[in-house]
Amino acid sequence: MMRWLLVGCLLPLWGCERYRVETHARPEFFKKAAAYQLPDEMVLEDGTIVRYTSQGAQSSFGRDGEQGGKPFEIREEKTGGEIVLHNKLPEHVLINALNCVRNQEYQLLWDQLLATYTKEEYGKEGQGFDQFAAFFTKERHELAGTLTRMVAGLPHQEVRFDEIGNGVTRCALRPQVSGPFKYKTVFVLNEDGALKLGMIK
Give per-residue pLDDT as tens, 148-160. 999 999 988 899 9
Residue 118: per-residue pLDDT: 96
Residue 13: per-residue pLDDT: 37
Strands (E), the chain: 21-27, 41-43, 49-55, 66-67, 70-71, 75-77, 83-85, 159-165, 168-173, 185-191, 194-200
Q: Name the least confident of 79-83, 102-106, 138-142.
A: 79-83
Confidence of residue 89 (pLDDT cuts 50, 70, 90): very high
39 in Cβ contact with 52 (< 8 Å) = yes
Task: Read off φ and ψ for residue 17, nearest 5 degrees.
Answer: -75, 155
pLDDT at residue 1 tops 80? no
Summarize the confidence of residues 46-73 as an average pLDDT: 56
Give per-residue pLDDT as tens, 37-55. 556 666 665 666 666 665 5
Going along the chain from its start, the domains and CATH numbers come out as 19-73 (no CATH), 87-201 (3.10.450)
Is the Cα torsion angle 76, 80, 81, 85 positive or negative in sign?
Answer: negative
66 in Cβ contact with 60 (< 8 Å) = no
Give per-residue pLDDT as tens, 130-146. 999 999 999 999 999 99
pTM: 0.69
